[in-house]
Structure 1
Amino acid sequence: MTTTTSRPTIVLVPGHWLGAWAWDEVLEHLTTDHCRAVAMTLPGLDKNDPERADRTLDDQVAAVLDLIARLGASEDGPVTLVAHSGANAPVSLVLDRRPDLVHRVVWVDSGPAATGSAFAPDLPEGVEELPLPAFHALAQQASLEGLSPEVLERFRARAVPEPGPVLRRPVELTNDARHQVPTTLVCCSIPSAQVMELARGGHPVFADVANIEHLDVIDLPTGHWPMWSRPRDLAEAIQSEVARTS
């Protein structure tokens, strides 16, 4: 990887059911630190798109690549990608296709997808989209720690159903150069020690972590949505990782 002395642009990619709005509080703190940061809404998560339920994982990958191209990313001026939760599928594919354009990837309570994996491979073809589950059901899958009733109300009001094609599509990765991209895991709902133990044990969710050549880990104890529960701390963690040269 080529390293630079200037600060790379930060591209914030939200997880399932979320748009660029999910990063608003983090962006406020990053802007205060004079960073160049941009949040994006992946195809399929724009409620005003009449064809959003048909958007695919390939559409999402193309959108990320298009954005970083418009931001002027190059081998001499790569971006930092910050991916939350289910954004790991499109961002893993971006790393597979253009690792040269990424200075560092920061996984927020997430990690690189393993080749052949899919979020919901058994989701029936007839299911066009997956709405945000009831919070009591969601809490069985991901920690809601640190989220106030007001935040949960906003989450419910602004969440957009996830397109079925995105959830069913397996991630196919072929370029081992993705493992050379410097990587940071921001561990929130699962402590880093446990994440690394799972990775060494070959757990399918974390298996690819063991293949990363330049890995740093940060513990930020909170729930699965730290951009709302600890936005300032998350912004500071992202900023510290952007400053790394390797």
Structure 2
Amino acid sequence: MTALKRNPTIILIAGHWLGAWAWDDVLEHLETDHSRAIAITLPGLDRDDPARSTRTLDDQAEAIRDILARVDVSTDQPATLVAHSGANAPVSLVLDRHPELVHRVVWVDSGPMATGSAFAPDLPEGLEELPLPPFDVLAQQASLEGLSTEVLERFRAKAVPEPGPVLRQTVELTNDARSTVPTTLVCCSIPSAQVLDMARGGHPMFAEVANLETLDVIDLPTGHWPMWSRAGDLAKTIQSAASQTS
């Protein structure tokens, strides 16, 4: 891994239903630390895109690659990718296709996907998109701990339905070099001890963690959306990870 001449660019990528706006609170803290941080909205999550519901994981991976090129990321100055939740699918593709451009990947209450996996392979083909479910339903799938009524109202107002093709598409990975990219797991709704047990046991959600060559594990106890419930602490964790030289 090439030694960095300065702190690398940090690319923030939120999970399902979310755009760049989801990182606003974290960006405020990172800007105080004078980091070069950029939050992006993936294809399919731009409310004004008329073809939004047809976007695919490949479209999302290419968009991340385009951002890396636009901000002059290179093998000499690779970026830190921060992937929250369902952003793990397109980021896993980027790690597979361009590992040399990534200084470190930070998984926020998430982890790398395994080849042949999909988020919702049984989602009906006729379902074009998946709206944000009611919060009582969502809470059965992911912890809402730490989210105020005001935050939940903003989440509901700004959420964009997730494109069906993104949820159904199988992730195909071929490059073992993806496992050499230094990795930080930020464990929020599932404690790190449990995550590592799941990885060792081959659980589909975290099986790929067992293949990582360089791994740091950090507990940040809260719900599944720490960019809102613990924004300052998450920003410090991201900054610390991005500043590591290997």
Q: How far apart are the structure 2 equivalents of 1:211 and 1:89?
A: 17
Percent identical residues: 76
**CA apart distance, 1:4:** 1.2
Where does 1:55-94 land on structure 2 (aligned, <5 Å)?
55-94=55-94
Q: How far apart are the structure 2 equivalents of 1:226 and 1:62?
A: 26
Where does 1:1-246 land on structure 2 (aligned, <5 Å)?
1-246=1-246
TM-score of the superposition, structure 2-length normalised?
0.99
Any conservation in 2 of the 1:3–1:103 contact (CA below 8 Å)? Answer: no
Q: How far apart are the structure 2 equivalents of 1:36 and 1:160?
A: 27
Q: How far apart are the structure 2 equivalents of 1:81 and 1:220?
A: 18
Amino acid at match of 1:127: L
Gaps of 5+ in 2: none
Q: How far apart are the structure 1 equivalents of 2:22 and 2:3?
A: 30
Amino acid at match of 2:152: L
Task: Compute the RMSD of aligned alpha carbons.
Answer: 0.5
**CA apart distance, 1:14:** 0.6
Gaps of 5+ in 1: none
Amino acid at match of 1:159: A
Q: How far apart are the structure 2 equivalents of 1:187 and 1:57?
A: 24
Q: How far apart are the structure 1 equivalents of 2:125 and 2:3?
A: 44
Amino acid at match of 1:110: S
Any conservation in 2 of the 1:26–1:234 contact (CA below 8 Å)? Answer: yes
**CA apart distance, 1:2:** 1.8
Amino acid at match of 2:42: L
TM-score of the superposition, structure 1-length normalised?
0.99
Counterpart secondary structure, 2:11: strand
**CA apart distance, 1:243:** 1.2
**CA apart distance, 1:145:** 0.0
Amino acid at match of 1:148: S
Any conservation in 1 of the 2:5–2:77 contact (CA below 8 Å)? Answer: no
Counterpart secondary structure, 1:151: helix
